[in-house]
Structure 1
Amino acid sequence: MMDFLNKTAFSLSATQVITWGQIVYALLFLVIAWFLSRLMAYLVVKKLLSSLRISADSRAVIQRVLFFVLLILVLLTVLTYLGIPLATFAFISGAVAIGFGFGAKNIIENFLSGWILMSERPIRINDVVEINGLIGRIMTVGHRSTLIKRNDGADIVVPNSQVLESRLVNWTLHDPYIRTSVRVGVAYGSDVQKVRSVLLAVMSEHEWVQKEPEPVVVFEDFADSALLFDVFFWVSMDSGREMRLIRSDVRFLIEQKFKDAGIVVAFPQRDVHVNFTNPQQLAGLSERSHD
């Protein structure tokens, strides 16, 4: 084994050779240093920065940058140990870059997109986003992909390039508040001012509805079978409750309040008018009704 490790693997010059032992030791050092760099970056972010008021996405950026800085130092240390100057790679860097670029185009594109996402911060960890009709919460922004957890618990892995290029809606970019609405129809003849008062009372009683901005009741339309009202209100996404469940609770409360106030929720109705132009048809219908 010692004879093998002392054998020359390749020569850099007439006086500088690289043995198999140096290569083995360098690889072992790289593997150990890789895991130690990840551990050190994690511990620095967790221990030193956890006491500071730094957001989760900022901590992720610091951890990633620290890991790559440590990794570069490790590579420079290995090259120094092997006695390989950086100028040695100058003549092959162009060919390697072209070949690597064509062979790993998508990987490089997603990697660079991840850094752009973390630097520009159009999305952050724990943001609620909508992409391609899917609504979920950002869990991590990795080197290659972004992990989104949907409301039903499913984890969606989206390549960073798609996140950057697609039409993404970030519901909580600047603040956690979003506006939603519930529509209800009441029967014709209802007291519209009473309907408005009941809807506002429901909004003031519901625990998830924000008091600021104030809820707004809009008399939307005179529909075929109902007077339509829309109530717009704001909800905090930090509540941890799904939006459709909040709207469901509001509808339950509206139905109960309308019942107590004697307001009838409208249902489809049709008035049928029969016009007999022939008197004989009317007489025949009357005779059949008597039979």
Structure 2
Amino acid sequence: MTFKEILNIELYNKGDFTLTVYNIFLILVVILVTLISLKIIRRFFKRFIKREESERSSYWSVYLILRYVVWVIIIIFLLESSGLKVSVLLASITALLVGVGFGIQQLFSDLASGIVLLVERNLQLNDVIQIQDGTVGRVIHIGLRTSRLKTRDDIILVVPNSKFVNDKIINWSHMDYNTRFSVDVGVAYGSDTKLVTKILLDCAAKNGNVSAAPKPFVRFNNFGDSALEFQIFFWVRESFWVENTKSEMRYAIDDEFRKNGVQIPFPQRDIHIKSTVDQNKTH
């Protein structure tokens, strides 16, 4: 038996569809060539990413779109080469989808949202975002149906892409290079407000994560029920770890307050009891 005869061996035959050894061989070769080609293209894109770090997300989005388009073309080609009529197959799939449309509506919504994200590029790799439930994370992967976030607790969160399109999302990375945050603090009545302001500014200046420009500033917010309420505003370059920066600031403020005799009061109430016992006796 010759090699050509081996390739022509029929493995499955039903109606107009015939599957031969040649078809299986062709499918394997095409998939292998496609995988190798995509790997080469990925290396090509990585070179550009290293040269143009600022355009990293853009290059990666283009690569993802290209990869999906290539696989769609390859699948259609393989189906046609195997003897399957793509038009007939699509018609059958469409009829099936109509019947189960409500069940997979969310799936198609996520897929469509993934395409929107890749085209509009409102969400990109390494963006620091805050989703609607308050969770803050860094984008480490953008897929066609889902994306992955790495939270501040080093937890990988898988989020459907429709959440990014339909919900309100705060993208900290789309703001200025420096992002402003604040720490609230209250001091006891009678404290030297000028000294408190100086301590807060010094603590911000000594923190390595706080940007020197714009300069931090202090706001005397209010005369509270139990304290004089201050707020120190500062800018940071790395917003993802800002909660750690805030914690460091609070430690430093507490130490400096202790050294300078500035007290942080606790909520308190003065209760005045008026006795009516003596008045009742006189009557």
Residues 36/274 of structure 1: CA separation in 2 closer, same or farther (3 Å cut) = same
Matches of 2:178 and 2:136, distance apart in 1: 15
Is residue 6–residue 21 contact of structure 2 (8 Å, CA) maintained in 1?
no
Q: Write out per-residue CA displacement over residues 226-271 of structure 1, whole angstroms, 9 at most, x where no aligned residue.
A: 1111112122226x6x222211111111122222333222233343
Structure 1 residues 89-168: aligned runs within 5 Å: 89-90=86-87, 93-100=90-97, 102=101, 104-131=104-131, 132-168=133-169
1:262 corresponds in structure 2 to 261
How far residue 165 of structure 1 moved from its aligned partner, in angstroms, is 0.9
Maintained 8 Å contact 1:37/1:70: no
How far residue 37 of structure 1 moved from its aligned partner, in angstroms, is 3.6
Does the 8 Å contact 2:207/2:249 carry over to 1? yes
Contact in 1 for aligned 2:182/2:233 (Cα 8 Å): yes
**Matches of 2:95 and 2:36, distance apart in 1:** 31
Is the contact between residue 172 and residue 237 of structure 1 (CA under 8 Å) also seen in structure 2?
no
Moved more, 94-103 or 187-196: 94-103
Residues 45 and 62, structure 1, Cα contact 8 Å, conserved in 2: no
Q: Distance in 2 between matches of 1:187 and 1:48?
A: 57
CA distance in 2 between counterparts of 1:11 and 1:276 reads 103
Q: In the alignment, what sits opposite 2:238?
A: 237
Partner Cα distance (2:49, 2:254) in 1: 50
- CA distance in 2: counterparts of 1:272 and 1:71, whole angstroms: 76
State the alpha-carbon separation in 2 of the partners of residues 92 and 201 from structure 1. Answer: 71
Checking the alignment, whether the CA contact within 8 Å between 2:80 and 2:86 is kept in structure 1 is no
Pair 1:67-2:67 in alignment: yes
Distance, in Å, in 2 between the alignment partners of 1:264 and 1:216 is 21
Q: Distance in 1 between matches of 2:68 and 2:209?
A: 43
Q: CA deviation at 1:173?
A: 1.4
| Residues paired across the two proteins, number | 273
Instruction: Quote the Cα distance in structure 2 between the aligned partners of 1:52 and 1:181.
Output: 33
* Unpaired segments ≥5 residues, structure 1: 282-291
Task: Provide the residue aligned with 2:31 in structure 1.
Answer: 31
Distance 1:226 1:90 in 2: 74
Instruction: Give the secondary-structure state (helix, strand or coil) at the position aligned to 1:29.
Output: helix
Alpha carbons 1:41, 1:67 under 8 Å: kept: no
1:81 Cα deviation (Å)?
5.9
**What is the identity, as a one-letter code, of the residue corresponding to 1:244?**
E
* 1:91 Cα deviation from its structure 2 partner: 5.5
- Between Structure 1 and Structure 2, whose CA radius of gyration is higher? 1
Give the superposed CA RMSD.
Answer: 3.3
Q: Could you report, residue by residue, the CA deviation over 1:63-82 in whole angstroms, capped at 9, with x for unpaired residues?
A: 22332454456457657866
Change (3 A) 1:76 1:277: closer
| Separation (CA, whole Å) in 1 of partners of 2:81 and 2:277 | 111
CA distance in 1, matches of 2:247, 2:19: 72
**Equivalent AA in structure 2 for residue 252 of structure 1:** Y
* Aligned position for 1:273: 272
Cα displacement (A) at 1:124: 1.3
After TM superposition, the structure 1 = structure 2 runs for residues 166-245 of structure 1, keeping only pairs within 5 Å, are 166-237=167-238, 242-245=241-244
Contact kept in structure 2, 1:57 and 1:124, CA below 8 Å: yes
TM norm structure 1: 0.78
The verdict on how the C-alpha distance between 1:265 and 1:81 changes in structure 2, with shifts beyond 3 A counting, is closer
Instruction: Measure, in 2, the Cα distance between the counterparts of 1:220 and 1:211.
Output: 23
Look up the equivalent residue of 1:139 and give its one-letter code. I
- Aligned equivalents of 2:105 and 2:26: distance in 1? 29
1:5 aligns with 2:8: yes
Residue type at the aligned position of 1:273: H
Deviation (angstroms), 1:150: 0.9
SS of residue paired to 1:218:
strand
Query: Structure 1 residues 147-156 or 182-191, which shifts more?
Result: 182-191
> With structure 2 as the length reference, what TM-score do the two structures score?
0.80
